[in-house]
Amino acid sequence: MSVKMYDLYRNVVMDISSLERKGDDLVMKGKMMGTMPATIYIKPEEVWLAKNLLSWSIIWYLPALMVKGWRRSRKQPPQKVGV
């Protein structure tokens, strides 16, 4: 299972395959632009600074976004692995 992030034209920009904890950091592994493997380290101070990117309208929208994602994921047929 992976999480995909898209640009405006629905091209996959980042395909995240795992999110783990290593010490105090979060470690995100995936592929950028479909071909370039990447390991991204997110430090606690960066997570703290990221809160400034969230407006109240986004915070209030997050529960609805989770419900929409859950509903849409149930309607999609399972993706084939290795195709």
Q: Provide the domain limits for residue 70.
A: 3-75
Predicted local distance difference test score (pLDDT) of residue 83:
46
Predicted local distance difference test score (pLDDT) of residue 34:
86
- Does 62 reside within a domain? yes
Instruction: Give pLDDT tens digits along the chain (83 positions).
Output: 789 999 999 999 999 999 999 999 999 999 999 889 999 999 999 999 998 999 999 999 999 999 999 998 888 666 655 54
Q: pTM (2 decimals)?
A: 0.68
Alpha-carbon distance 67 to 13, whole Å?
A: 24
- Does 45 reside within a domain? yes
- Does 80 reside within a domain? no
Q: Helices marked H in 19-78 — which ranges?
A: 44-50, 56-75
Cβ 34 vs Cβ 43: under 8 Å: no
For the chain, the domain total comes to 1
- Does 83 reside within a domain? no
